Amino acid sequence: MATAGDIMETGTGSSGVTPGSNRLRFTWRYDHKVDSQGRVPLPAKWRPDNPSGLSLMAVMLRHPSEAEFVMVLPAEQFDRFSSDLCGGNFTDPLKLAERHDYVDRIIELDLDSAGRICLPEEIRAAAGLTKEVLFVGCIDRFEVWNPESYRAARSSERVLKKVQNPQKT
């Protein structure tokens, strides 16, 4: 079981809450340790004043580099993400297949009173989230990565950018 000394946060960044609003902003990168029960603390700067009012949905995704990671969306962003999946004819075979592709890859996350989220074993295993995770802020959502997978994914993104935009290198 993790002790307080095991749960460390590194990184710096601005507060997750925009001044004068309740809207969370997820910025910067933070390293955290996963405890033996799969819990990991949300970066302190991202925690809302009222954790019970925060609804988060986790979606397993595959990066173009083939690395699996977890995209975590607040409720309003998840609604945007899922609107295409939920629209249209519910009996259309293609729409049905698309929904089924995601149904096993989406889970609601709760923030406990200590500011931690619990990542199920299946998700941790698929994304290679063992002892260390990297939280990556993406402004209106965040991602949870295996730190090595993230570095490899960023490297492949840099190559892609050079290929797509050679004059901006």
Q: Which pTM was predicted? A: 0.82
Average pLDDT over residues 3-7: 31
Could you give the count of Cα atoms lying within 13 Å of 43 in the half-sphere of its Cβ? 27
Measured between alpha carbons, how far is 106 from 82 in angstroms, rounded to an integer? 10
The domain ranges of the chain are 21-168
CATH architecture, domain defined by 21-168: 3-Layer(aba) Sandwich (3.40)
Whether 136 contacts 127, CB under 8 Å: no
| pLDDT given at position 23 | 67
Q: Is 147 helix (H, G, I), strand (E, B) or coil?
A: helix
Q: What is the DSSP letter of 31?
A: E
